[in-house]
Structure 1
Amino acid sequence: MESITLNHQENSRENTIEMVDFYNEATEDYAFRSKDLNMHFGYYRPFLNNPFRRNTMLNEMNHQVLKRLNLPKNKASLVDLGCGVGGTMRYALKKIKGITTFGVTLSPFQVQKGNALLKHLKGSILLENYNHTSFKSNTFDGALAIESFCHSGHDKHSFKEAYRILKPNGRFVIADAFLKKETSKLCYGSKYAYKKLCSHWSLERLASIETVKKDLTNLGFKNIKVEDVSFRVAPSVLHVPFAITGFILKKIFTLQSLKRESLHNLKGSFYALLSGLHMKSFGYYLISCTK
């Protein structure tokens, strides 16, 4: 048992190193596909968003997450757990008066770039692990995690830390992909796509949606609402392989060197698309709950 635990910890450390390297080097790819540097998928609302305009869908995801946080109107504190370069933080600062935002990331590049973009705004990004932050307990009115907890395998320690730093009755919203069944029950095609997706995007694993719901309940979260928004997210997923291919072609035509991480990003986007076709195995969810 001790050997298994040590092996898991070692694998987790290796994945963290790979993930940090990936985001230190591949953030430029995301800048190419999102002028606001949103490093996540989008949310499509028929007749309100244009499915051919990627950035509107990416910002719509920010809007949907903030709407479910239901932050206090006049003065609120928000933390983004795995914030990238602060795209969602900047969106929140533009949309909500009186808000103060903090973000955490393990990527030194994202800290430097994100804080430069947040200059003169009430936001700050810290170089910290979202599983063990330096924030005091009961600090924030709201916490969010958009496609970040998958890098640590949707571990219950991530949810526990979010619970700790939230104020009583504070809101927590997760936007991410999850398995609809345990990995042992995945068919061959689903298992192959899943393995490749995790490898190329430095994901430790995707947890099953039922396991996550159970973990949140056991930690004390209440009013847990789980929404399958896969069809809302699908149009933006279709954009990703083409956007990254365009980025790579631009690099080639301008005789610039192509980073290994860019190729991983392209392959990961392909397997994300392939995973999405296995609708009985994978889904994209918005999970909201209250401390």
Structure 2
Amino acid sequence: MTTASLHQTQLQHEENAIETADFYNEATEDYKFWSRDFNMHFGYYSPLRTNPFRRDTMLNEMNRQIFKRLPNATNLCDLGCGMGATIRYGLYNNPNLRITGITFSDFQATEGNKLLKSYNGHIAIGDYNRTGFLSNSFDGALAIESFCHSGHSADSFTEAYRILKPGAKLVVGDAFLKKDYNELCIGGSYCYKGLCNGWSLEKLGNIPALKIMLAEIGFNNITVEDVSFRVAPSVLHVPFAITGFIIKKLLKNQQLKPQSMQNLKGSLFALLSGVQMNNFGYYIITCSK
């Protein structure tokens, strides 16, 4: 990549970080309607463990699945932690953990740290592409539906690699394309653009290219699990959550903020994208330094 291309990519990341921070500073409170715990991600359906009609059981099961893949870690970093719901879940179930989160949003950091007062965790304001954390300082890292805001870029995964200790694992749960963007059909392309615009996503990475990129960065023991069907039951909650949210606002005679409308549009396109199994998938990726 040329110096000019690197500079352009850096500018794009910075602009997107500002846009993402603005989005979450205004729209984070809306997620209370999605999750009592402020889980800002989709869920994971496990028979006998979760109830497909109770969304929070699936959202917290996603948290459990991520931590299950980090069995020996004690000092973790949550890269793009939102309000810290995943951090609180991990610390509640394992008080011996220490978890540091990082978010673009000062609102999320301020309010999230209030919720973490009785836990061994902290949320910092910053860019997960340039955390400022010491190299080789964490024995585990996770990123649930956060790296998409930077386009699943090499910068995000390279920074995660830098802050991990040798042998430590990174676990990512997120939606990805199954092919290159240029190979999407008209419908797929339309949904993809609506999803990215609605949720302030730089882009989605595609799985074949991601595997190559992870290996080039230096990660090994790369495992890619397609969990789309496990995630689907929580995605089906989207139209009901959107309808309920709008009705609640109307009954209170409250106007929808522009960021709320943007969030709702992104949620709708997430549902439309989710049914296109040939173009989109939800994956849990585990790799070691």
Work out whether residues 154 and 205 of structure 1, in 8 Å CA contact, stay in contact via their aligned partners in 2.
Answer: yes
Q: Residue 203 in 1 paired to residue 201 in 2?
A: yes
Work out which of the residue numbers 93, 96, 102 in structure 2 matches 1:95: 93
- SS of 2:222's equivalent in the other structure is strand
Identity between Structure 1 and Structure 2 (%): 59
For residues 246 and 106 of structure 1, what CA distance do their matches in structure 2 show? 28
Give the alignment partner of residue 142 of structure 1, picking from 140, 143, 150. Answer: 140
- Find the counterpart in structure 2 of residue 51 from structure 1: 52
Amino acid at match of 2:39: N
TM-score (norm 1): 0.95
**Which residue pairs with 1:285 in the alignment?**
283
Written as runs of structure 1 = structure 2, the 5 A alignment for 1:141-180 is 141-180=139-178
Structure 1 position 238 matched with structure 2 position 239 = no
Describe the SS at the equivalent of 1:50.
Answer: coil
The residue aligned with 2:41 is 40
- Alpha-carbon deviations, 1:76-116, whole Å to 9, x = none? 10110000010000000011131111000010100101000
How far is 1:177 from its partner? 0.4
Deviates more, 1:147-156 or 1:19-28: 19-28
Tell me the C-alpha RMSD between the 2 structures. 1.4
Cα deviation code 1:120-162 (max 9, x no counterpart): 2110000110011121111111100000000000001111111
* 1:23 paired residue number: 24
Structure 1 residues 2 and 121, CA gap change in structure 2 (3 angstroms) = closer
Instruction: Give the Cα separation in 2 of the matches to 1:39 and 1:282.
Output: 19
Q: How does 1:252-291 map to 2 (within 5 A)?
A: 252-291=250-289
Contact 1:241–1:266, Cα closer than 8 Å, also in 2: no
1:220-270 C-alpha deviation (Å, 9 max, x unpaired): 111110000000001101112321331222111111232111111111111
Q: Tell me, yes or no, if the aligned pair for 1:156 and 1:215 is still in contact at 8 Å.
A: yes
Tell me the CA shift for residue 46 of structure 1.
2.0
Residue 226 (structure 1) aligns with: 224
Alignment of 1:108-127 (within 5 A): 108-127=106-125
Q: 1:81·1:145 contact (CA, 8 Å) conserved in 2?
A: yes
Shift of 1:16: 2.1
Which letter does structure 2 place at the counterpart of 1:45? S
Task: Tell me which of 183, 186, 202 is aligned to 1:188.
Answer: 186
Aligned-partner Cα distance in 2 for 1:26–1:241: 18
* Structure 1 residues without counterparts, runs of 5 or longer: none
Contact 2:95 2:120 (C-alpha < 8 Å) held by counterparts: no
- TM-score for the superposition, normalised by structure 2: 0.96
Counterparts of 2:199 and 2:67, CA distance in 1: 26
| Shift in Å, 1:290 | 1.1
User: How many residues of Structure 1 are paired with residues of Structure 2 in the alignment?
Assistant: 288
Contact map agreement 1:244 1:265 (CA 8 A) in 2: no
Instruction: List gaps (5 residues or longer) in structure 2.
Output: none
One-letter amino acid of the structure 1 residue matched with residue 47 of structure 2: P
Per-residue deviation, 1:2? 6.7
Change (3 A) 1:123 1:2: closer
Q: Secondary structure at the match of 2:237?
A: helix
